[in-house]
Copies of this chain bind each other. A is one copy, B any other.
Amino acid sequence: MSPIATSTAHYHEDASSHGKELSKNPHVTGKVSGKETEKLVINTIRCLGADLCQQYKGGHPGTVMGAAAIATALWRYSMRYNPANPEWVNRDRFVLSAGHACLLQYIMLHLSGYPTWTLDQIKKYHAPTMDGIAAGHPEIEFPGVELTTGLLGQGIANAVGLAMANKNMAATYNKQDFPLIENKVWCFTGDGCLQEGVGQEAISMAGHWALDNLILVYDNNSVTVDGNIDICFTDDTNAKLQSMGWHVLEVSDGSNDLAAIVDAFDQAKKLTGKPVFINIKTIIGIGSANQNSGKVHGAALGEDDVANVKTALGFDPKQKFFVDDKVYDYFKDTTTKGAQWESDWNDLYERYKKAYPKEGAEFQRRLEGKLEEGWESKLPPKESLPKDPKATRQTSGIILRSVVPQDNSFFVGSADLCESTFVNWDGMVEFQNPETGYGDYSGRQVRYGIREHAMVAAANGLAAWQKGAIVPIMSSYFIFWLYAAPSLRMAALMKLRFIAIATHDSIGVGEDGPTHQPIAFPLFLRALPNFNYIRPADAEEVAGAWILSLKDAEHPSLLSLTRQPVPLLEGTDRNKVQYGAYIVKGDEKEVPDVTLIATGSEVARAVDTAKLLEEQNGYRVRVVSMPLTARFDAQPVEYRRSIIPSSKSLVVSIEPYASFGWAKYAHAGAHMTSFGHSAPYSVLYEHFGFGPKNLAAKISTWAESKRASDGKGWEIPGVGEFEELLLNKGH
C-alpha cells in the first residue's frame, strides 16, 4: 500500500525581491483528518480511475491515480464552493488545463456532492452513448466545469481570464466591509500546458498583472506520452516561473503527502502580490505495474494490472467502482460548508444592495447578462456617421466609444496595437497592478502585450465568468488572429460572446506585404460553427456588426476591418446586417443581368463596377453586400433567392481572399489565386485586378460568353462551372 506520509512544502521566493524562505518545515495544520480515512479516500479515487478507464478500455488513468491526493486537498480542504449551486458567483473557480485528466475532476465532483455527478453518470466515461456528461474532456455545459478544456495550454490562459475577471469585479464593486468578490482561481496543469506557447504567454501576463488570486497547481509527474519528460523538456520550471513574476512553492511527495499539499495550498492562499505556482512532484499511475511511464498516460491499465492495483491498495480486486460510505462521509462537510458560504454571501449581498443601490443594481444586471439599458440608441445614426471615406477600423472606434466607456460590462484590450485598432477612449483606465502606476484593477483597457493567443484564451475566461457579465473586446491586426485560432475555435465551441476587432484585413494591408495579408484565414472563420465572421462594408455596416455581435449572446464575433478608407455607401443598412446579405444597389423586384456579391471594402468597388457595367454594357446590375455568410445561409430559401437570383442572373463574387466557398452563391468570382505582395494598397488592388475598370472588363467578357443563343438572356452556368476571373501570380 502506498504510504501517506507527512512531508514538507518548500517555499521558494525570488531572492532578489524578498530573499526570505517561509516555513521550511511547516506544521501540518489541524485540518487534515484521520490518516486511515485519507488513505481510503485517495485509494478509492485511484481504484475508481483504474476501473472507469478499464470499463471501456480507454481514457487517461495515470493522472487520476497520481494526483488523487492533490484533488482531495483541493475539493475537501482548499477550495471554497457550494456543490448545490455550481454557479454561486463568489465561489473559487477550478480549471483543469490538463483536460485529458477530466476523470479525476468528475470523480471529485461526485464525491464532493454535486448532485448531477452521480456514480452512474461517471460510469458513462467513454461509454458508447451520446447522453453522458462525463465527456472525454471537461465541457462547460456541465455543472462544476468552468470552461471546456483539453487543448493543451488553453486552460492556464482561461484561468488567467477568470482571475482577471475576479480582480476587476472586486475592484469595481467591493466596498469597505463588503467583499462581494473574494475568491481564488485554481488551475491544474501538467507539463504539456507549460510547454505550449499559449501557456507561457498566459503565465507571463499573470505575472505582469500580479494576479495573486491565481494558483497554478503543477502535477509534475516527469512523464509525457512519449516517455520521460527530459527527452524534450528540461527548463528549470521553478526559476522560469519566478522570472515571470510568480511565487513558487514545492511539494516533494504529491502523490501521498496530503498534509503537505494542504499546507502548500494554505500558504498559497495567503501569499499576496504575485500569482502562485505550486510544483508538486507526483508519480503517474501510482500503484500500476507501469507507474512512472508513458504507458499509463492515455490507455487503460488492463484487467490484470487493475486487479493488482486494487490488491496493493487493500481493495477487493473483484469489486468495481467501489466507494465506501466512509469516503462519502469524509466529503459530507463540503455540502454543509458550501451552503453556509453561499448563505452568508447572500446576506452580504442583500446588505450591499441596500448600502450601495446603484452598484448593487449594476452588479445584478450584469449577473443577468444584460448590457446597460438603451445602449443601441447611443450608437450614432447613419446620418451622423462621417461622410468622407474612413477606414472601418476608425468607424468601429466611433461605435466603440459610443457604448463602451459608460458600461462596466465591457473589458477592452489589444495585443499592443491599441491606437491602431481604435479601441481606446478618453479617460480610460488601464487594467494594471496599481503598484506600476499605470492603472488599477478596476481598469477596463487591457494591455495584453504581443500575446494574441493568450489574449483570446484569457478572454474566453472573461466571457465564461458568470456568462454574460463581461463582454471582452480584444483587438489586433487580422493576420495575428491566426495565432489565436485555437482559442477562437474554443470560444465558438463554448458559445461565448466576445468581439474580436481584427483590423488590416485583405490585401488592403498594403506595404507590410504578403506575411500580413490574410488570404485564406477568413474562410476558416466562415466555416467555423457558431462563429460570426463579419466583414462590414462601411461605417453603417460597422454599426450593424456591433449590434449583431452584442445581441448574439451565444456566439463569438470577429469584425474584419480595413486599414484603408472606404466611403459611406448609400445602400447600406445596419438593420440588415443580421440577415447576412442584402441588396445595396438595384431593385429587388427586377431580375438583374448580373448580380455582384461583395464584402467589406470591396462593396464600394462592386458598386463602382456595377455603374461601369450599366453604362458601358447596358446591363441591369444588382450589388449584394454579404457581411456574414453564415447568417445568410440560415435565412429561409425565399429570402435567399430574392437576394441572389442565381437561376436567372449571372452571379459574380468579389473579394480579395481565396475563392474557396464562393461557388455556393456565384457562377464566377474575382478573388486571390495566390498570396499577396508588398506594395501600397492602391497599387495592389490594380495589380491583382480589383480595380472597377478591370473588374467591369473581366465580368462583361465573361458574361458575353454566357449569352443565350437567342441573344436574349443568359445561359446560366451550373454547379461545377465556377470560373476564376482573375488569375494573379503572387507568391
Contacts and interface: CB of A to CB of B under 8 A. Distances in A.
Q: Give the one of A235, A495, A721 with max B CB within 10 A.
A: A235
A137 interface: yes
A512 B233 contact: no
Given A243-B239, A675-B530, A683-B128, A483 B658 contact: no
Given A197-B201, A240-B244, A451-B195, A516 B661 contact: no
Interface string A431-475: 010001010000000011111111000000000000000000000
Interface in A218-266: 224-226, 230-237, 239-240, 242-245
A309 B168 CA distance: 44
A646 B233 contact: no
B245 A234 contact: yes
Interface in A659-675: 660-661, 663-667, 672-675
Nearest to A152: B450
A273 interface: no
A704 interface: no
A513 B145 CA distance: 15
B719 A450 contact: no
Contacts of A418: 226
B226 A236 contact: no
Contact of A511 (B59, B449, B661, B716): B59
Contact of A148 (B148, B199, B515): B515
Contacts of A126: 511, 680
Contact of A233 (B136, B242, B449, B528): B449
B232 A449 contact: yes
Contacts of A527: 519-520, 523-524, 657-658, 660-661
A381 B300 CA distance: 36
Copies of this chain in the oligomer: 2
Interface residues of A, number: 131
Nearest to A524: B524
B660 A526 contact: yes
A58 interface: yes
Interface string A490-506: 10110100000000000
A230 B719 contact: no
Interface string A99-133: 11000000000000000000000000011111010
A8 interface: no
A514 interface: yes
A227 to B, nearest CB: 8
A419 to B, nearest CB: 7
A420 B520 contact: no
Q: Give the one of A450, A523, A526, A657 with max B CB within 10 A.
A: A450
Contact of A515 (B243, B493, B510): B493
A492 B672 CA distance: 15
Contacts of A200: 197, 200-201
A137 B225 contact: no
Contacts of A208: 232-235
A139 B195 CA distance: 30
A192 interface: yes
A682 interface: yes
Given A207-B234, A486-B483, A640-B720, A136 B528 contact: no
Contact of A483 (B148, B196, B236): B196
A323 B512 CA distance: 26
A524 to B, nearest CB: 4
A163 B421 CA distance: 37
Q: Give the one of A128, A141, A232, A664 with max B CB within 10 A.
A: A232
Contact of A675 (B152, B451, B493): B493
A139 B683 contact: no
Given A483-B486, A485-B485, A447 B231 contact: yes
A497 to B, nearest CB: 15
A637 to B, nearest CB: 8
Nearest to A648: B718
A731 interface: yes
B225 A235 contact: no
Nearest to A194: B450
Nearest to A239: B243
A430 interface: yes
User: Which 6 pairs, one residue from A and one from B, show the smallest C-beta to C-beta distance?
Assistant: A197-B197, A663-B664, A524-B524, A232-B449, A646-B720, A527-B660
19 contacts: A59-B511, A137-B516, A150-B512, A151-B515, A195-B201, A195-B451, A197-B200, A208-B235, A231-B432, A231-B438, A232-B416, A233-B449, A235-B243, A242-B243, A519-B528, A528-B658, A646-B719, A661-B663, A716-B719
Interface of A: 56, 58-59, 99-100, 126-130, 132, 135-137, 139, 141, 148-153, 191-192, 195-201, 204, 207-208, 224-226, 230-237, 239-240, 242-245, 414, 416-420, 430, 432, 436, 438, 447-454, 479-480, 482-483, 485-486, 489-490, 492-493, 495, 510-516, 519-521, 523-524, 526-530, 640-641, 644, 646-647, 651, 657-658, 660-661, 663-667, 672-675, 677-680, 682-683, 687, 716-722, 731
Given A197-B197, A663-B663, 19 more contacts: A100-B512, A195-B204, A196-B450, A197-B483, A208-B235, A224-B416, A230-B436, A231-B432, A232-B449, A235-B244, A236-B245, A237-B243, A239-B243, A242-B243, A524-B527, A527-B661, A530-B674, A640-B720, A663-B719
